[in-house]
Structure 1
Amino acid sequence: MLSLETFELTKAFGGNLVLDKTTVSFQHGKVNALIGPNGSGKTTFFNCVTGLIRPDSGRISYAGADITRRSPHAIARAGLGRTFQLCRVFPRMTALDNVLAATRPRGANLLRGARGRAEIDRARGWLTKLGIEHLMQTEARNLSWGQQKLLELAGVLMSEPETVLLDEPAGGVNPALLDRIGGLVRDLNAEGRTFVIVEHNMDLVMSISDHIVVFDRGRPIAEGPPSLIRTDERVLGAYLGA
């Protein structure tokens, strides 16, 4: 079963073609990675898939449904969650309130109705699972960069997405926290969640991925398991600098 597919997805900014009739699929129930050199279209691909920008043409399908023209909120309700390269947290709110606010609809008071015991317990549970429960009363601005990444992920998981898109989870993270993030991805995948991860840290990609897609100039040039990708000449030429 395919979790996420695109068909001839195209996006240009001015005269710069970023996605060039991109047709690609990611495997349901697996840890998928999307890699490629800077400027190859990875984040633009994520932005199109999650509704932040509209593609110029092409189609996006998730779980068999066409989501190409849906709003970001409708796509999230369909089961797709997403983190960003630059963490999106509320800096002057506590970690617990950040996680609670993540489930509020746009335009609503962020914390109105969010204080039910069941929801608070669920938020605490995610903070505990991600290893930052001791920081739940700490304002987000006082957390380290890696801790903010975990906090953002906790907020995403509050919506119980079936598929999680992670945009450079290893960026700026210390090695100990990086190991924790890798372990969390594997644990959450074992519980049934599908992942698609944009990442430049090849050690992380190769250690946790089941399936890897490689972009170059807005198109996939290779895909397969890590054992195949690490020896693919097209990948070595385009991404690893051989």
Structure 2
Amino acid sequence: MSLRTEGLTKAFGGVLAVNGATVELRDGAVNGLIGPNGSGKTTFFNIVTGLVRPDSGRVLYRDRDITRHAPHRIAHAGIGRTFQLCRIFPRLTVLENMLVAVRRTRLRELLAGLRDKGEVERARHWLRRMGIEHLEDAEARDLSYGQQKLLELAAVLMAEPDLVLLDEPAGGVNPALIDRIAALVRELNAEGRTFLVVEHNMDMVMGMCDHVIVFDRGAPIAAGPPALIRQDPRVLEAYLGV
């Protein structure tokens, strides 16, 4: 099992955002994480990636306890993530964003034109995979929002993570790009990467994911293949309101 959490709990001002969440991801699969607004999905993501420390419980990655590791240590361990709102450097070019992502080239050196040829080639490889290689010299702020999402994913992949967490990859993008992102996830998964995807677009989740986890009130209430999740009465009540 690549990632497992045990009894994760986190409260903000007396409100339980995550409430004793025990979750197991399917290794080598595209895992979906769904639930109504306020069900604790993003807080769960933030705990797993070290941005938030839980009040109790553990995060285990490949049987190592990473609960209180800093975000950079978790990234180096093989976990990458994107955010609901893209985290890119708007005034850097697309290629510069890619090179900064690996953090072996200091920003001052990068802006002075000092670049590792191997890293440049690897960056261009991922830009080609995303279909935005023609934009490498454009400033990131000049890209469309969908292109910025592709850039953020490409930058995450520069670190060659084994597990990738995507936080609402379909948010704010057009249907054609949603299909493209879903296809990319499936391609990358076929190459050996495990995914955990938080997403509100149910068509995307059910069509892309092998395994779906449903959160309600800070904890999982159901998990299984999409066909079973669609019919689970607990999910229909909590998530769909029927």
TM-score, normalisation: structure 1: 0.97
**Cα distance in 2, alignment partners of residues 126 and 158 from structure 1:** 7
**Cα distance in 1, alignment partners of residues 63 and 12 from structure 2:** 29
**Cα distance in 2, alignment partners of residues 98 and 170 from structure 1:** 21
1:25-74 Cα offsets, whole Å, 9 max, x none, are 10110000000000000000000000001000100000111000111011
Counterparts of residues 43-58 of structure 1 (less than 5 Å): 43-58=42-57
**Alignment-derived partner of residue 156 in structure 1:** 156
**Alignment-derived partner of residue 25 in structure 1:** 24
**Alignment-derived partner of residue 128 in structure 1:** 128
**Alignment-derived partner of residue 138 in structure 1:** 138
Q: Displaced runs of 4+ in structure 1, greater than 6 A?
A: none
Q: CA deviation at 1:111?
A: 5.8
CA RMSD of aligned residues (A): 1.1
**Alignment-derived partner of residue 110 in structure 1:** 107
Q: CA deviation at 1:21?
A: 0.8
User: 2:43 is paired with a residue of what secondary structure?
Assistant: helix
User: 1:27 is paired with a residue of what secondary structure?
Assistant: coil
Structure 1 residue ranges without an equivalent (≥5) = none
User: 1:18 is paired with a residue of what secondary structure?
Assistant: strand
Aligned residues of 1:97 and 1:111 also touching (Cα < 8 A)? no
Structure 2 residue ranges without an equivalent (≥5) = none
**Cα distance in 2, alignment partners of residues 151 and 22 from structure 1:** 32
TM-score, normalisation: structure 2: 0.97
**Amino acid in structure 1 at the alignment position of 2:181:** I
**Alignment-derived partner of residue 170 in structure 2:** 170
**Cα distance in 1, alignment partners of residues 98 and 117 from structure 2:** 14
**Cα distance in 1, alignment partners of residues 109 and 223 from structure 2:** 45
Q: Give the structure with the larger helix fraction.
A: 2
**Cα distance in 1, alignment partners of residues 83 and 215 from structure 2:** 19
**Cα distance in 1, alignment partners of residues 62 and 152 from structure 2:** 24
Aligned length: 239
**Amino acid in structure 1 at the alignment position of 2:148:** Q
